[in-house]
Amino acid sequence: MANRLQLVLGGARSGKSRIAEQRVKVLGIDQIYLATATAGDGEMSQRIAKHQTDRDSTWQLIEEPIELASILKLNSSNDNCILVDCLTLWLSNCLHHECWPEQKKALLGCLNELPGAVVFVSNEVGQGIVPMGELTRRFVDEAGFLHQSLAVICDRVTMVVAGLPQELKTFDLESAL
């Protein structure tokens, strides 16, 4: 399957989740929404609720804030596509629980073995100034390193700006042969 692994990047409220959801829907196979967010406050609870109401009932929902690779391995099949939303929230969770290096290694190590399609959604956070705080700098650095690693592995990489997808990398069947 061409475009088996996809990375959709964009800023907050850029339309990246909507684009990713549309890409999964057109495949015509079972849809799994793997949510990494945790509701730490009322505003985040509202964001999560909005995402849930925006999706129709054809989506199976799995919520997992940390063990992303394990969940992908358990649920990936030729008959489904898993949408992971969002990698930067997952990164935040892993940094908070001090398990980032092993979780990142597990994710990157399992992707080529997954039988099904996966579409990753992530916030592009590296286009601003270098943050002052050490933890914030680490977050921005690790997000950038993760995106670079995934961009090498993924067949398709898209940047979404103002709801418009800009293709950064697409699978070229001719060059793959």
Instruction: Give the global pTM.
Output: 0.90
- The DSSP output letter for 113 is G
* pLDDT-based confidence at residue 137 (cuts at 50, 70, 90): very high
* Residue 51 appears among annotated catalytic residues: yes
Which 3 state secondary structure label does DSSP give 60? strand
Q: What is the predicted pLDDT for the residue at 57?
A: 83
CA distance 156 to 133: 33
pLDDT tier at 173, thresholds 50, 70, 90: low
Residue 176 has pLDDT above 70, yes or no: no
Q: How far apart are CA 169 and CA 9, in angstroms?
A: 12
Predicted pLDDT at 130: 80
102/158 Cα distance (integer angstroms): 26
What is the DSSP code (8-state) at residue 130? P
The confidence band for 7, taking pLDDT boundaries of 50, 70 and 90, is very high
Could you tell me the CA-to-CA distances from 112 to 12, 25, 64, 97, 109 in Å, in that order?
Answer: 29, 22, 21, 26, 7
User: Contact 28/96 with Cβ under 8 angstroms?
Assistant: no
Domains along the chain with CATH numbers: 5-176 (3.40.50.300)
Answer whether residue 51 shows pLDDT above 90.
no
Q: What is the band of 39 on the pLDDT scale with cuts at 50, 70, 90? A: low
Q: How many CA atoms lie within 13 A of 32 on its CB side?
A: 21
Check residue 28 and give left, alpha or beta (phi > 0: left; psi -120 to 50: alpha). Answer: left
Q: Which residues contact 87 (CB under 8 A, 6 or more apart)?
A: 36, 120, 121, 122, 123, 143, 146, 147, 150
